[in-house]
Amino acid sequence: MTNARVELLTGRLAEKALRRLVGQWGPIADFELVVIVLPINVVSLATLDWIGRHHSPGVGTCRIIIPGLCQGNLETLGQKWTILVERGPEDYRDLPEFFKLAANPVDLSRHSIQVLAEINHAQTLSLNEILNQAQIWRNHGADLMDLGVDPGGPWTGVSDAVKALKDDGHRVSIDSFDSTEVAIAVAAGAELVLSVNQFNREKAPDWGVEVVAIPDHPAELSTLWNTVEFLQAKGVSHRLDPILEPIGHGFGASLLRYVETRKRYSDAAIMMGIGNLTEMTQVDSAGVNFLLLALCQEWNITSILTTEVAGWCHNSVKECERIRRVVFHSIGEGVVPKRLDAGLVVVGESKRRKTEPGALDEIAGCLTDKNVRIFAENGQIEVMNGHFRFSGEDPFLLFEKIQAIETMNPAHAFYLGYEMAKAVTALTLGKQYRQDAALNWGHLTVPEKTHLKNRNSREIL
């Protein structure tokens, strides 16, 4: 251990539990961990100004960690103390991982897979609807907007749609087998055509843009080879898509066709339309997207086409943007994709922490005020303050018990109901519950902030 001193600021209620953790983990750290207990039950409720008035760093301190829920500008304290001040994890039990990640950050800035987001049934949408959807997907990481057009065209508004997208700074592809429709879209600025086979490839040289070559029928790869030979002979830039099939319709065999295509064309650009699987599989899309993009990364498939029609795929673009970075790092560095991006765990929980035996008894024994603390442990909701302690599975019964003892105003009643609803959700899904903090929904988590403004109605641990 070095002489570097790191202070962990906490309140009275979390002191014993934090000291136990430091006692278990601190000896193996390469710095000295010191627990500093401030004169407040829950330091997360303190302002940084209050912390600055009630604490001075010890001699030799080089770093101070405050709880993750503390609000305010850390630079203020850093300048006051001339020491590095950091906001730690919201849960003290995550401190060992926090220090590990702080020392060895993972670089997820790079990727090699282009995300095409298909705007389905584009001809039925207004220009504003198309632009709004494209803006959302651009914010979620899509690289190119694909106008998916239903058969029966040509769509007379395709030129306006492409121009509007281009004017708004988007890259555009056109997904249509109508040659007239495609020609209009290309003239307006579309840079990629999905898709061509023997039935429309004769027009491809006239368009002057890159096209996606597909087989005449998914199971007939030889027809894909024929189209590729035609495009090569005509000097048409192209990428290949052997066509991914849904489960129950040749899914496994279609994967093997991607392998065969890569073996035959070792340097060719290949695309995978992953929406064919995600939209046809009624399961949350993140896991399916992850496996498909991992295969794409391994097989050097550099573009994917996805969409968000089915409810279980409604975050597919955002998922793919994150996943492509994780699989790039995982496969490039030869590491399993674990502890790289916890944001991809939405329904489950990356870190399930149980309160140590006796810890709730310790907390209950310290309470003297009326502020209600809520916990969700071992299938039970537990509520306590300086006057009562109840536990059970039914929040309605717990609320009745509280009402029988204490009178509460509507705002506090709403607060308790809201928190217990979160606790029930956490118990149902196996999530970690922490009072006054949002449940962890991965990359979909929306932080809770407004509840911390009313500090007189409750405290948090």
Q: What CATH number is attached to the domain comprising 231?
A: 3.20.20.20
Helix-, strand-, coil-residue percentages of the chain, each rounded to 5: 45, 15, 40
Domain boundary at 79, 103, 127, which?
103
Q: Which of 10-14, 76-80, 98-102, 250-254 is predicted least confidently?
A: 98-102
pLDDT surpassing 50 at residue 105: yes
> Are 58 and 167 in the same domain?
no
As a whole number of angstroms, the distance between CA 172 and CA 303 comes to 14
Question: The pTM is what?
Answer: 0.80
Contact 313, 276 (CB under 8 A): no
In a domain, 461, yes or no: no
More confident residue, 321 or 405: 321
In a domain, 259, yes or no: yes
Query: Which helix (H) or strand (E) segment is 304 a member of?
Result: strand 303-306
> Are 232 and 154 in the same domain?
yes
Q: Count structural domains, the chain.
A: 3
Give the torsion sign (CA, 123, 127, 129, 133). positive
> Are 66 and 136 in the same domain?
no
Domain boundary at 293, 311, 344, which?
344
pLDDT surpassing 80 at residue 455: no
Task: Please write the tens of the pLDDT for every residue from 169-197.
Answer: 999 999 999 999 999 999 999 999 999 99
In a domain, 173, yes or no: yes
Bridge pairing between strands 373-377 and 380-384? antiparallel
Which residues, other chains included, contact 19 with Cβ-Cβ below 8 Å and sequence gap of 6+?
35
> Are 390 and 326 in the same domain?
no
> Are 208 and 120 in the same domain?
yes
Query: Which range of residues forms the domain containing residue 432?
Result: 359-453
Contact 163, 189 (CB under 8 A): yes
Domain boundary at 73, 103, 133, which?
103
Residue range 405-417: average pLDDT?
91
Confidence band of 451 (pLDDT split at 50, 70, 90): low
Q: How many other C-beta atoms can be found within 10 angstroms of the C-beta atom of residue 86?
A: 14
> Are 314 and 373 in the same domain?
no
Distance of alpha carbon 30 from the chain centroid = 32
In a domain, 175, yes or no: yes
> Burial, 283: exposed, middle or buried (Cβ in 10 Å; 0-12, 13-18, 19+)?
exposed
Three-state SS at 327:
helix
> Are 252 and 331 in the same domain?
yes
pLDDT of res. 78: 84
> Are 338 and 429 in the same domain?
no
> Are 126 and 86 in the same domain?
no
> Are 206 and 65 in the same domain?
no
pLDDT of res. 457: 39
